[in-house]
Structure 1
């Protein structure tokens, strides 16, 4: 199911809150070992959208550079600026009262041409950013560092040029596998070997 279909069903069911993540999302040991504290923080803070894993960018331009949000001391999540461009949304949560607004915004865009000033059809990260820009009262939190990330793999929607070359594709697959192993190993060493009640950093 697409993000839109899931959100539309959630709006119909009037869910209290919704957690979505890609099927290839890897959960950080930090999330696994600090689950109670993370949930406790979310239960005591005001928020509408909470990104457990995403990539902030400097601005809205396609060629914009990746950036990092500043960590908030003794917190798992930092508050994102209203105009903060966020992409690569692969692990996030939404409060129930914000879901109908997001669904209505997406459905209205379906009737408009692409690049319409009021937002035409776009990719999901684009909808999320436009929704946040147009509703500054919506509070967005983002985990710093990420509490999950997607496996490195070839994209079925936007495959790279090298992926179509039969002689190169196996090597890319091996490189991506090595990258995934390194990321998971580094995460385990940093967070998996610590006690559950140790520091947030």
Structure 2
């Protein structure tokens, strides 16, 4: 079974003015057999608030509210399960190869939240496996670009997200934060929730200008254009690797 068949709805979160990201994720998903033409796929207009409020930035607040509103919409429509994708998702080369296996495993397991893609820092101790597996996870997840939510936990999640909005930043029980941070706090405070993680990760973050934490060169029109071109041809990744190698050499005795 494919993701498009298993999930009642696939939400793709995208700021309307980020046409570049919309085109990129449309191409990415088309290659994986997930077409925007399907009635199950919905392009969700991300929220761009006027101010950061109690959040770290306008981008963080917008991301949090966007994920919250996706959850609310799913509950209103009575969906059994949903897949949530951010528009900077980059699927791994092995995704299509193991897609059926991931869903087959999910169908026979009890689950509330499942992360198919995340930052590699999230699970530094992940063991190598011969085949991808879904395993319980209660640690700190980095990234909320590719995950599923079971309908039975939607109400609790929404109540928790809304409670975070009522608390000040830095509150011990959680306050305004990023969506992935909210999922971490939710699991820690609700140990009965079954949170699964795919090992290895099947989706990372594509290099593109971020509306949450933009780089200094993304704030200047001319440099922003050059940065976009560089990302499209892979120069940004090359420069990051070059910088890392230089720092590593400097640390050597």
Q: TM-score if structure 1 supplies the norm length?
A: 0.74
Map 1:10-25 → 2, pairs under 5 A: 10-25=74-89
Unaligned runs of 5+ in 1: 59-65, 183-201
The residue aligned with 2:14 is: none
Q: 2:135 aligns with which of 78, 94, 97?
A: 78
Which deviates the most, 139-148 or 127-136? Answer: 139-148
In 2, Cα distance between the equivalents of 1:137 and 1:150? 29
Unaligned runs of 5+ in 2: 1-45, 47-65, 238-253
Aligned length: 174
1:3 has 2:67 as partner: yes
1:93 has 2:170 as partner: no
| Higher RCO (CA < 8 A, seq sep 6+) | 1
Map 1:6-155 → 2, pairs under 5 A: 6-55=70-119, 57=121, 67=124, 69-80=126-137, 82=138, 84-155=139-210
In 2, Cα distance between the equivalents of 1:98 and 1:72? 29
**8 Å contact kept, 1:69–1:78:** no
Q: What SS does structure 1 have at the residue aligned with 2:145?
A: strand
Distance 1:116 1:73, change over 3 A: same
**8 Å contact kept, 1:112–1:121:** yes
The residue aligned with 2:232 is: 177
Q: What SS does structure 2 have at the residue aligned with 1:8?
A: helix
**8 Å contact kept, 1:51–1:91:** yes
Q: CA RMSD in A?
A: 2.7
In 2, Cα distance between the equivalents of 1:170 and 1:121? 32
Q: Deviations over 1:37-92 (max 9, x none)?
A: 2210111222211111112547xxxxxxx835234553432322x2x111111000
User: In proportion to residue count, which structure has more helix?
Assistant: 2
In 1, Cα distance between the equivalents of 2:134 and 2:180? 19
Q: What SS does structure 2 have at the residue aligned with 1:138?
A: coil
Q: 1:160 aligns with which of 184, 209, 215?
A: 215
